[in-house]
């Protein structure tokens, strides 16, 4: 990333503000879907090289459930919503209105609920970016994989192209109703180089 792309605190705050607005819309949609009060916030936003992303989201050797979506429209890229597998299972139980101990199988129904969450959250985040940029951003149909965090990030990066070297990471925290423990995931946006420049330029002038 050259000097003109480096973000100051105010610029990161601009991205964080956009993300939290999107998170609010996603929380409303999930609340309606589950008939439970859902709260989502974004405590941290970072931009880092792809090779540092695995450590930035936790541990590259941890097993995660990852939902991949392509970003289409006026800008292009890919997005990942990552949860540690145990956290993904807990979140699925919440979404399906089950007791956490009801099932330890991360089956088709559980995976479908996580993909639907990613669909809602990614759409909300991209809508926020669309409003900031004045451009159309469209998410693709989601696909889910369970693997080591480092392997998923590496595969996504290699399939997307070697020149896509920087990512935007939104730490994303979910909470269901007062008193429930929070669950954390990470939304990772891998824009192509031209799209990254547009996003960072917009964050500077916001």
CATH number of domain containing 123: 3.40.1550.10
**Cα three-residue angle 179-18-10, rounded to 5 degrees:** 105
Torsion over CA: 105, 109, 112, 117 (sign): negative
Question: Helices 193-205 and 108-133, interaxial angle, to 10°?
Answer: 60
Alpha carbon distance 128, 79 (integer Å):
15
Total domain count for the chain? 1
- pLDDT at position 50, please? 82
Q: Which of 176, 186, 31 is nearest to 99 (CA)?
A: 176
Alpha carbon distance 24, 134 (integer Å):
20
As averages over each run of 10 residues, the pLDDT of the chain (206 residues) reads 53 85 91 86 88 82 92 92 91 80 78 94 92 90 93 79 74 82 88 85 73
Q: What are the Cα distances from residue 57, in Å, to 84, 92, 170, 184, 201?
A: 10, 20, 9, 10, 25
**Cα three-residue angle 88-92-98, rounded to 5 degrees:** 135
- Listed in sequence order, the residues at least 6 apart from 11 whose beta carbon sits closer than 8 Å to its beta carbon are 200, 203, 204, 206
Q: Look up the domain containing 156 and give its range.
A: 3-205
């Amino acid at each position: 990333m050259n000097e003109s792309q480096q973000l100051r605190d105010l610029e990161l705050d601009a991205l964080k503000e956009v993300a939290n607005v999107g998170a609010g819309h996603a929380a409303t949609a999930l609340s309606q879907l589950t008939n439970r009060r859902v709260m989502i916030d974004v405590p941290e936003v970072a931009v880092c090289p792809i090779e540092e992303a695995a450590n930035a989201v936790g541990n590259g050797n941890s097993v995660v459930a990852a939902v991949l979506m392509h970003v289409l429209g006026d800008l292009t890229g890919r997005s990942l919503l990552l949860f540690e597998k145990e956290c993904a299972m807990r979140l699925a139980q919440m979404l399906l209105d089950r007791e956490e101990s009801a099932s330890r199988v991360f089956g088709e129904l559980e995976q479908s609920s996580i993909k639907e969450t990613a669909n809602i959250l990614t759409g909300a985040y991209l809508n926020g970016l669309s409003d900031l940029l004045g451009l159309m951003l469209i998410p693709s149909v989601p696909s889910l994989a369970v693997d080591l965090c480092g392997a998923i990030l590496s595969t996504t990066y290699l399939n997307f192209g070697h020149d896509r070297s920087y990512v935007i990471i939104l730490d994303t925290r979910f909470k269901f109703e007062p008193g429930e423990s929070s669950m954390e995931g990470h939304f990772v946006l891998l824009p192509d180089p031209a799209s990254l420049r547009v996003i960072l330029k917009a964050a500077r002038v916001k």
